[in-house]
């Protein structure tokens, strides 16, 4: 399900509206994922605290959104644009790719929550496709 | 009276042990969400969003009229009516939280034998409903409330898929 020009335009338009709040979105989405899908905490056993508002969660949420922003800027060639991140996820982090869907869902819940008028069904489908393609690019080097 | 449990056959004891446990807080979260819901608004929004975001789900609505684009789906009165019906169906689970599996046994058979709905689709609709509720409740939709709501929907989804064979 590759991104059409219409999808890319919709993603960029949505990003333009939400990017100022990127840090807050990332922190909120990450803390929700850790709470709603507790099995995801297994990747963060080195953190003293996985609760909403904690320093490691805020810091990591910001990092994740940095990656999302990078993906938006490289939307025409995600595999090439996210190569370094793909290698990181494949060889170092080895996050089971099923988890990308869980984070994507939480990201979209937060966007809907914070920007209800902008996260229309049309924006939602473009965003969902985009995040699925980002996940694909991130797992590119897995095997 | 407690000692009679020793005489229960193992299968019966296991059946009770397998039941979903709800805390008082979880129960009140669910009843509050549904108690303050506009079923027509949320139901139609959730179903139309599902058909737009996951277009393959339109396969079950071939007789519902114009689903040609997002605008058509959003304004289709048959879809709106059906979304409302789905939400009222969820009501039954809200009123029978300790026995959702039994409550939905017939509906599960219906979705399998008559409607032939791939049970994977239940999760897609559940995710869209979560998004619609998140948009509606704003700051009230805390992570804890999301976790409880998704737990509830997961139990519903599981119960609806239970009678497939």
Residue B14 lies in a domain: no
Out of A28, A119, A125, name the one closest to residue B135 (CB): A119
Residue B62, min C-alpha distance to chain A (Å):
20
A7: nearest CA partner in chain B: B53
Cβ distance A125 to B49 under 8 Å? no
* Half-sphere exposure (Cβ direction) of A38: Cα atoms closer than 13 Å: 4
pLDDT above 80: residue A127: yes
- What are the start-end ranges of the E strands in chain B? none
Cβ distance B83 to B43 under 8 Å? yes
Nearby residues of B120 by Cβ (< 8 Å), 6 or more positions away:
none
The pLDDT tens digits for B27-58 are 999 999 999 999 999 999 999 999 999 999 99
Cα B101 to chain centroid, rounded = 12
Instruction: Please state, in angstroms and rounded to a whole number, the distance separating the CA atoms of residues B98 and A93.
Output: 40
Across chain B, which distance is largest between two alpha carbons, in Å?
63
The whole-number pLDDT of residue B51 equals 98
Q: Tokens for A44, please give them.
A: 């963060």
Instruction: Please state, in angstroms and rounded to a whole number, the distance separating the CA atoms of residues A77 and A68.
Output: 14
Number of domains into which chain B is organized: 1
pTM for the full model? 0.92
* A91 secondary structure, DSSP code: I
The pLDDT tens digits for A42-74 are 999 999 999 989 999 999 999 999 999 999 999
The pLDDT tens digits for A65-118 are 999 999 999 999 999 999 999 999 999 999 999 999 999 999 999 999 999 999
Instruction: Please state, in angstroms and rounded to a whole number, the distance separating the CA atoms of residues B151 and A114.
Output: 22
Chain A contact for B102 (CB, 8 A cutoff) = no
Q: List the Cα angle B13/B154/B101 in 5-degree steps.
A: 40
Out of A105, A121, A122, name the one closest to residue B127 (CB): A105
Are residues A116 and B138, on separate chains, in Cβ contact within 8 Å? yes
Residue B4 lies in a domain: no
For tokens 């409740």, name the residue: B137
The whole-number pLDDT of residue B6 equals 53
Select from A103, A113, A110, A111 the least CA-distant residue to A134: A103
Residue B1 lies in a domain: no
Complete DSSP assignment for B19-58: SPP--HHHHHHHHHHHHT--HHHHHHHHHHHHHHHSGGGG
CATH of residue B104's domain is 1.10.490.10
Instruction: Please state, in angstroms and rounded to a whole number, the distance separating the CA atoms of residues A107 and B29.
Output: 22
A28: nearest CA partner in chain B: B143
- For chains A and B, count residue pairs whose Cβ atoms are closer than 8 Å: 54
The whole-number pLDDT of residue A59 equals 97
Q: Which residue range is the domain that position B129 belongs to?
A: 23-164
- Burial class from Cβ neighbours inside 10 Å (0-12, 13-18, 19+) for residue A46 reads exposed
ipTM exceeding cut-off 0.90 for this assembly: yes
The whole-number pLDDT of residue B19 equals 81
Chain A CB contacts of B46 under 8 Å are: none
The CATH label, of 3.30.70.20, 1.10.490.10, 3.40.50.300, 3.30.390.30, for the domain at A5-139 is 1.10.490.10
What are the φ/ψ torsions at residue B22 (nearest 5 degrees)? Answer: -120, 130
Chain A CB contacts of B136 under 8 Å are: 116
Out of A31, A35, A109, name the one closest to residue B134 (CB): A109
Low-confidence ranges of chain B (pLDDT < 70): 1-18
The CA radius of gyration of chain B, in Å to the nearest whole number, is 18
Out of B48, B134, B139, name the one closest to residue A112 (CB): B134
Instruction: Please state, in angstroms and rounded to a whole number, the distance separating the CA atoms of residues B58 and B47.
Output: 10
Residue B89 lies in a domain: yes
What are the φ/ψ torsions at residue A78 (nearest 5 degrees)? Answer: -65, -40
Residue A124, min C-alpha distance to chain B (Å):
7
On average, the pLDDT of chain B sits at 92
Give me the residue spans of the domains in chain A: 5-139
């Amino acid at each position: 399900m590759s991104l059409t020009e219409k999808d890319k335009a919709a993603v960029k338009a949505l990003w333009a509206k939400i990017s100022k709040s990127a840090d807050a979105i990332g922190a909120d989405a990450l803390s929700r994922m850790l709470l709603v899908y507790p099995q995801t905490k297994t990747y963060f056993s080195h953190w003293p605290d996985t609760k909403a508002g904690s320093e490691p969660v805020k810091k990591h949420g910001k990092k994740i959104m940095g990656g999302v922003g990078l993906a938006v800027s490289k939307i025409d060639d995600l595999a090439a644009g996210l190569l370094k991140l793909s290698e990181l996820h494949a060889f170092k982090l080895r996050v089971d790719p099923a988890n990308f869907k869980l984070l994507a869902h939480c990201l979209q819940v937060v966007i809907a929550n914070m920007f209800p008028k902008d996260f229309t069904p049309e924006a939602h489908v473009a965003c969902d496709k985009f995040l699925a393609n980002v996940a694909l690019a991130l797992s590119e080097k897995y095997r | 009276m407690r000692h009679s449990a020793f005489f229960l056959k193992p299968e019966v004891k296991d059946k009770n042990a397998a039941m979903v446990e709800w805390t008082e807080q979880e129960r009140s979260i669910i009843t509050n969400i549904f108690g303050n819901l506009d079923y027509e608004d949320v139901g139609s929004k959730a179903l139309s969003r599902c058909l737009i975001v996951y277009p393959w789900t339109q396969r079950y609505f071939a007789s519902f009229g114009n689903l040609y684009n997002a605008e058509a789906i959003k304004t289709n009165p048959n879809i709106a009516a059906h979304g409302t019906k789905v939400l009222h169906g969820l009501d039954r689970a809200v009123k029978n939280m300790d026995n959702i599996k039994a409550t939905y046994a017939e509906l599960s058979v219906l979705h399998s034998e008559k409607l032939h709905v791939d049970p994977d689709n239940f999760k897609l609709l559940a995710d869209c409903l979560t998004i619609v509720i998140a948009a509606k409740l704003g700051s009230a939709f805390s992570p804890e409330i999301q976790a409880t709501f998704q737990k509830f929907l997961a139990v519903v989804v599981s119960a609806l898929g239970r009678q497939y064979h």
